[in-house]
Structure 1
């Protein structure tokens, strides 16, 4: 029992440390961005994804740009909303309605955070290259990067809590992280975000997902939501 409590406390401390580091990273990025400190690197990285001498032409064949538009949709509302609704139904059917409620709250909270920070910083979108897709809101932080991190990682974590097999738990998280990375890269490739926007979105979204996971673990330990299922294999 003492060993189990020590493991839980260690995990909680590591989780809080990770959240603190991510929030610190976001704050540093925001400060540097506001002072113009990221502009030179942002421009260099954005142009590195364009054909030399032709900023209107993304590197690679035409199918790559088409694929990037498909990938970027994985961080948009049109994909995330149905995905979350399906996950909520799955959790309810599996007898975990409280976990479903927590997932819904986590995703809604992430969206509110994204909108609030975009309004606060109100950074213009890149004007260095033509955009490869439509973009309507402010640039910093990237909403697609943040919401893909907040939603996919939280979703993976909540599904992993309901999965007793550790290999499948790890698979959920690896797949979710891969999607998050791909969505962020697609935003820069399509010219609708500066790289610093994406880094900030990743940091804030991942911090929010970890915080929501920590809340889920605490509520599970106290019996307020369904406890995590754990096993071997």
Structure 2
């Protein structure tokens, strides 16, 4: 069994990393919000959107003919229906295996992220980009990207939960990287399809990561209190 000091140092490092992520996410979101409030699109927003289109013809995306359809498949990973399905399936599995606290953690994190995303969209009334034609149907406001934010909340939450029960450190790192990759692909797909400014996606990633890490910190605090209780309680993470 590793020394208590070693375990404590690992926990403290994780908490410090989560705190840095939260602080960085909040700072990044505020910076992107300032860009979103500008009357004219920021230079880097326009440059990146146009970089995904053929020079001289912004209606044609770059890449082979099959790429737009593949990107639409990627963006579906961040759609409400897919995220609800993944979240519900995970919660039911956790309940069936007696992990009630973990199920509650996933529910609060994802549902809270959805509510926060809706509120943030009302805070910045930014229209969708009109610089390039949209390659997917959209109906809501642009800032922040709901797909980017909710995929960050959902996949990072599930990745952190899965990494906790991984059989070894390498497997845990792999699961976390997989969660980050899924989050990245969803956000990048929104820019490729022309339905979000890059700053919308960056803001969604920042807010989503900050919320997911904040929920993880709360869960760690609750878990530490449960472990310090005189009698162990069932349903742990």
Q: CA deviation at 1:225?
A: 7.6
Structure 1 counterpart of 2:34: 31
CA RMSD for the aligned pairs? Answer: 1.8
**Alignment deviations for residues 47-83 of structure 1 (CA, whole Å, 9 cap, x no partner):** 0100011110000112100000000000011111111
Where does structure 1 differ by over 4 angstroms across 4 or more consecutive aligned residues?
A: 224-228
Note if contact 2:101-2:236 (Cα within 8 Å) is conserved in structure 1.
no
CA spacing shift, 1:4–1:161, aligned 2, 3 Å: closer
Which of the numbers 192, 200, 204 marks the counterpart of 2:203? 200
- Superposition pairs for residues 4-43 of structure 1, below 5 Å? 4-36=7-39, 39-43=42-46
- Superposition pairs for residues 146-165 of structure 1, below 5 Å? 146-165=149-168
Is it true that 1:79 corresponds to 2:82 in the alignment? Answer: yes
Q: Partners in 1 of 2:74 and 2:221 — Cα distance? A: 34
Aligned length: 228
Is it true that 1:61 corresponds to 2:64 in the alignment? Answer: yes
Q: CA deviation at 1:167?
A: 2.4
Structure 2 stretches of 5 or more lacking a match? 227-232
TM-score of the aligned structures, taking structure 1 as reference length: 0.91
Q: Partners in 1 of 2:41 and 2:224 — Cα distance? A: 42
Structure 1 counterpart of 2:105: 102
Is it true that 1:121 corresponds to 2:124 in the alignment? Answer: yes
CA spacing shift, 1:23–1:225, aligned 2, 3 Å: farther
Query: Any idea what SS the aligned residue of 1:75 has?
Result: coil
Structure 1 counterpart of 2:218: 215
Structure 1 counterpart of 2:94: 91
TM-score of the aligned structures, taking structure 2 as reference length: 0.90
Structure 2 counterpart of 1:181: 184
Query: Any idea what SS the aligned residue of 1:62 has?
Result: coil
Which stretch shifts more, 112-121 or 162-171?
162-171
Structure 1 stretches of 5 or more lacking a match? 229-233
Q: Partners in 2 of 1:221 and 1:199 — Cα distance? A: 33
CA spacing shift, 1:94–1:159, aligned 2, 3 Å: farther
Q: Partners in 1 of 2:95 and 2:155 — Cα distance? A: 18
Structure 2 counterpart of 1:231: none
Structure 2 counterpart of 1:45: 48
Note if contact 1:220-1:226 (Cα within 8 Å) is conserved in structure 2.
no
Which of the numbers 144, 162, 169 marks the counterpart of 2:147? 144
